[in-house]
Amino acid sequence: MAARCDRIEEAYEFMLAYAAQGLATDSGSGAGAQVRQFLTGLDQALTGLGDVFRAVAADDAGNADKYAAFIAVLDRDAGSAQAAVRLVLAQPGISSQMVDNLNASIHLRALLTDVFLVDEVLKAPART
């Protein structure tokens, strides 16, 4: 789960930098080639994200209902963000403005907030 969180955060950071470059398309630049790689990695990290966190939740059986409610949110947010990422990946050219709009989408922002929370849960001291 931690590796997926890292991949999602790294992709978002790259996308912020790409959006600031003002490129009309991803063709013909190093950053352009990388944006598709980062978006593809983000797409892969989002696939089954809730199921991966469900495995983490299995270690805290006493709070299973609380994890289940959050996992439903995580699944929904990951699915919505993934739909937006896939829409961008389907385009023949990915402009900085398109990535900026993706970065600003409520779907990606909700997912990032979820991931930041999960990351902190993973860092929390072990429960007894």
Tens-place pLDDT, residues 64-87: 888 999 999 999 999 999 999 999
Of 115, 122, 87, residue with least CA distance to 11: 115
Averaged pLDDT score across all residues of the chain: 92
CA 60 to each of CA 1, 36, 57, 93, 115: distance values in angstroms, whole numbers, following the listed order: 15, 37, 5, 45, 18
Give the pLDDT confidence score for residue 128 in this predicted structure. 43
Asked if 108 and 78 touch (Cβ cutoff 8 Å), the reply is no
Asked if 46 and 81 touch (Cβ cutoff 8 Å), the reply is yes
As a whole-number percent, the residues of the chain with pLDDT over 90 amount to 75
pTM recorded for the entire structure? 0.91
